[in-house]
Structure 1
Amino acid sequence: MVGEAGGLARAAVVGTGLIGGSVLLRLRDAGLDVAGWDPQPAVRRRLRDRGVAVSDTVEQAVAGRDVVFVCGPLPTLPAMLARVAAATDDRCVLTDVGSTKAEVATAATAQGLGRRFVPGHPMAGADRAGLGAAGADLLDGAAWVLCPGPTGMDAFRRLTALLVDVFHARVVPMSAPEHDAAAALASHVPHVLAGALAGTVQRSALRDAVLALAAGSFADGTRVAGGPPERTANMLLANRDRVLVELTAVGAFLDEVAAALRAGDADALTGRLAEARAARATLCARGFTAHRREFPAGADHAGELAYLRELGAAGGHLTGCRVTAGAVGYTAHLPATPPLG
């Protein structure tokens, strides 16, 4: 069966909104034994109507499972993680899908869950929310951050194998602080900028005229502003310090553009736009080189952990993880061109 390479054939998903619902539907379609739970009875009924096994309590959903995906609003994750942990045994791998990682990672450590909790964040989404926006293919091929810890390498390996097998994920191993730093610019600040542009149009006396002229650049640039404001606010507050740092950097870049405009300095303006174009071109034409690495499965994991975190920090990802004959082998990919300075 697909996914059994990680030994995680029995799964549960707690919270079935956009991401949790998509995880649940994909696991179901892959043939895994999966149960779901959602705090809203109406959502549970809709899942049953779609042929998904749904429990009426969290404890029923997670009992006897090999892996549990803890989903839901960011502020609820630490308490829900504790509840799920109490209802599962030490062999059950726990993960989440939250868009920030440091807070839930700290909570898991405080709860003594370092050996079996692997913080996670699939880098995919939509401008809608809820089960109605979920789809089994939403996360297909997504970059999926996992944060391995020094005591949880076995859980990380098993979860990586499952995500690659079922979701065809590009698993990006990072520490929780590194994730939050990178996600600030990759995801969180773009939400702010999209909201700022759309919000400015909403306040404009020419709003309707602007919207009549809005083409692809406006639609693409404001797409994420269509998401639930509460969800975006939770994300920004959970990573507040880093988002503020990066907003300052974005503000400095905008100041340079504005100064060039005020001065009528075409060379300076072109230079700033060329920097932006270079980043966009790298994103659209990024190539990778593949390699394999092996580590002893049962020895000290310091070297393995350092390798994984360095891989993620360098922009790399994993597309394979298998433990055989006392060794763990990774199929990894690194950017073929050096990262932008």
Structure 2
Amino acid sequence: MTDRGTKRYAGIRAAVVGTGLIGGSVLLRLAESGLDVAGWDPDLATREQARARGVAAPDTLEQAVADRDVVFLGGPLPTLPRTLARVAAATAPGCVLTDVGSTKVEVAEAADRLGLTDRFVPGHPMAGAESAGLAAASTTLLAGAAWVLCPAPGAATAGFRWLTGLLVELFDARVVPMSAPAHDSAAALASHVPHLLAGALAGAAQRAPLRDAVLALAAGSFRDGTRVAGTPAERTANMLLGNRARVLHELADVTEFLDGLAAALRAGDAAALTARYAEAAAVRSALLDRRYAERDREFPAEGDHAAEVTWLRELGDAGGHLTGCRVDTGSVAYTAWLPVTD
């Protein structure tokens, strides 16, 4: 990861509230970039770990976020709306707020109720590990990650633009602009249902009469398929419950496809099995061989924010992302990338 953005953001004062795996990785990267950054976690031992790694970790949330330009919110999903309200009350109106939670609708709705859509930009870096806590965090965990940001029309566009630039420069992020509902629908199939499937496969192996033999034979397919089953159980439960309706909707489609495979297997229908696996292989190939084309776009800085946000959301829905956002006098220029379809 480069440090090409450290000069541009050298004067920024940042804070991270909730310094577990993701929040802690944000904290460590900001500190490595030379920013004035403070972290706070309700757990005293975690704050002491941060201090041991050379990062300021005040004893209170209010001390950590005072006079900051940007605050990243982490911690368990059910706590984010309350944390958002508390952080907003302790920061100046010009402080940009964002979060790193794996679901977006609930916290976006909380921001709307609190009147914070002018400075809160819901976010979700698409990265992680089965380990947890600040001890597992690293400066490189989020390097090059797809990082969802949810722009809202109106004054919030300024916060979205500024945060996009910061994430691209300091994390080499691929910023994916989406609405909160679109994110939760896409994440249900891309991230949340895989946790259910991994749990089911690992759970079945745990209960199998030949459990130890299964583990002895387990190779790449079992290891890859069960990796996220090692995620802390409470964190997984919070994620699934926080997006329950969408996860269940996508799970029904997965179950339908699986039932088709099972029916073909019961019938001994090799042609049907082959056809379904060919269909599945197509999306796997598209994932591994994904190519993008650059599509730049400019908008008036003070122009039609609704048109700008509509374009941003359509970009994310189409599988695109941003690698640049430059605001000049009178205009804002985005560097965008869209998938190439053959």
TM class by shorter-chain length?
Answer: over 0.9
1:335 aligns with 339
Deviation (angstroms), 1:300: 2.4
2:169 paired with 1:165: yes
Q: Matched residues in 2 for 1:207 and 1:71: separation?
A: 37
1:175-225 superposed Cα distances (whole Å, 9 cap, x missing partner): 000000000000000000000000000011110000000001100110000
1:227-259 superposed Cα distances (whole Å, 9 cap, x missing partner): 101000000001000100111101100110011
Give the residue type in structure 1 aligned to 2:30. Answer: L
1:221 aligns with 225
Determine if contact 2:11/2:36 at 8 Å carries over to the other structure: no
The equivalent position to 2:299 in structure 1, one of 287, 295, 299, is: 295
Aligned residues: CA RMSD: 1.2
1:122-148 superposed Cα distances (whole Å, 9 cap, x missing partner): 000001111111000000000000000
2:310 aligns with 306
1:81 aligns with 84
Q: Matched residues in 2 for 1:84 and 1:299: separation?
A: 30
Q: How does 1:317-336 map to 2 (within 5 A)?
A: 317-336=321-340
Q: Matched residues in 2 for 1:219 and 1:321: separation?
A: 39
2:37 aligns with 34
Q: How does 1:58-69 map to 2 (within 5 A)?
A: 58-69=61-72
2:256 paired with 1:252: yes
The equivalent position to 2:100 in structure 1, one of 97, 102, 117, is: 97
Q: Matched residues in 2 for 1:110 and 1:5: separation?
A: 34
2:172 paired with 1:155: no
Give the residue type in structure 1 aligned to 2:72. Answer: F
2:272 paired with 1:268: yes
1:189 aligns with 193
- Count of residue correspondences: 338
Determine if contact 2:58/2:64 at 8 Å carries over to the other structure: yes
Give secondary structure in 2 for the equivalent of 1:139: coil
1:22-50 superposed Cα distances (whole Å, 9 cap, x missing partner): 00000000111101101111111111111
Determine if contact 2:10/2:35 at 8 Å carries over to the other structure: no
Deviation (angstroms), 1:2: 2.5
Deviation (angstroms), 1:5: 4.7
* Structure 2 unaligned regions, length at least 5: none
Give secondary structure in 2 for the equivalent of 1:247: helix
Q: Matched residues in 1 for 2:11 and 2:184: separation?
A: 27
Give secondary structure in 1 for the equivalent of 2:304: coil
Moved over 2 A (4+): 1-8
Q: Matched residues in 1 for 2:133 and 2:71: separation?
A: 19
Q: Matched residues in 1 for 2:251 and 2:6: separation?
A: 40
Determine if contact 2:9/2:35 at 8 Å carries over to the other structure: no
2:130 paired with 1:127: yes
Give secondary structure in 2 for the equivalent of 1:53: coil
Give secondary structure in 1 for the equivalent of 2:290: coil
Give secondary structure in 2 for the equivalent of 1:243: helix
Deviation (angstroms), 1:9: 1.1
2:239 aligns with 235
What is the identity percentage for the equivalent residue pairs of Structure 1 and Structure 2?
A: 70
Alignment CA distance shift 1:252-1:71 (3 Å) = same
Q: Matched residues in 1 for 2:318 and 2:142: separation?
A: 23
* Structure 1 unaligned regions, length at least 5: none
Deviation (angstroms), 1:266: 0.5
2:210 paired with 1:206: yes
The equivalent position to 1:71 in structure 2, one of 52, 63, 74, is: 74
Q: Matched residues in 1 for 2:180 and 2:11: separation?
A: 24
Deviation (angstroms), 1:16: 0.5
Deviation (angstroms), 1:299: 1.7
Give secondary structure in 2 for the equivalent of 1:283: helix
Determine if contact 2:126/2:148 at 8 Å carries over to the other structure: yes
Q: Matched residues in 2 for 1:113 and 1:5: separation?
A: 26
1:2 aligns with 5
Alignment CA distance shift 1:55-1:116 (3 Å) = same
Give secondary structure in 1 for the equivalent of 2:333: strand
Q: Matched residues in 1 for 2:168 and 2:89: separation?
A: 28
Q: Matched residues in 2 for 1:135 and 1:36: separation?
A: 14
Give the residue type in structure 2 aligned to 1:333. Answer: W
Alignment CA distance shift 1:305-1:199 (3 Å) = same
Give the residue type in structure 2 aligned to 1:243. Answer: V
1:116 aligns with 119
